[in-house]
Structure 1
Amino acid sequence: MADINLIQEHKLAPQQAREAAQQVADKLAEQFELDCRWDGDVLRFERSGVNGSLTLRPNQAQLQIALGFLFSAFSAQIEAKVAAKMRQVFVP
């Protein structure tokens, strides 16, 4: 199992940060057919072989993804794409 842990600093207001997090989740859901749901300030997502969360804190978004065996072979590519998307939406 491979894990991806990313922290993205931001200067967004809470609602803007939530909208940015939703954009990241929408992209992940589209690419990996994930189910996403909000639990307070934590966006949780999962499917067979992938689960994780995107936690919003003041001035910071923390993404944690656990990849199962089949997805772990692509962990470097997944991490690069997700990191780029997080930079794009959290640092306008």
Structure 2
Amino acid sequence: MSHIDIRHSHSLAPKKARDAVQEVAEKLAARFGMEYDWDGDTLNFNRSGVEGHIALEPKNVQVTAKLGFLLAALKGPIEAEIRRVLEERFS
């Protein structure tokens, strides 16, 4: 099993940060069949081969994920896409 742990700083108001994460989660759900739910300021997500969460903090957003065997081979491109989306949504 492979792990991803990315922390990205931001200056968004809490509501805007949560809206940005929600929008990303909705797109992942529609595109990849990802299931998600909120627990406070943390969005938990999962589907076959991946589970993780996006934690919102006042000045940071942290994405952690555990990739199953098949997705572990794609860890590099997955991390790059996460970083791109974080830069786009939180900068």
Cα deviation digits, residues 48-88 of structure 1 (max 9, x gap): 21000000001100000110001001010011011100110
| TM-score of the two chains, using structure 1 as the length reference | 0.91
Cα RMSD (Å): 1.2
Query: Which stretch shows the higher mean deviation, 42-51 or 23-32?
Result: 23-32
Unaligned stretches of 5+ in structure 1?
A: none
Equivalence for 1:55: 55
Residues 55 and 62 of structure 1 are in contact (CA less than 8 Å); yes or no, is this contact kept in structure 2? Answer: yes
Aligned counterparts of 1:44 and 1:19: Cα–Cα separation in 2: 15
The number of aligned residues is 91
Show structure 2 runs of 5+ residues with no match. Answer: none
Cα displacement (A) at 1:20: 1.3
Give yes or no for contact 1:44–1:52 (8 Å, CA) kept in 2: yes
Moved over 6 A (4+): none
Closer, same or farther in 2 for the Cα pair 1:31/1:71, shift >3 Å? Answer: farther
User: Counterparts in 2 of 1:52-91, with a 5 A limit?
Assistant: 52-91=52-91
What percent identity do the matched residue pairs reach? 43
Could you tell me the TM-score, scaled by structure 2's length?
A: 0.92
Q: Look up the match of 2:29.
A: 29
Residue aligned with 1:88, SS: helix
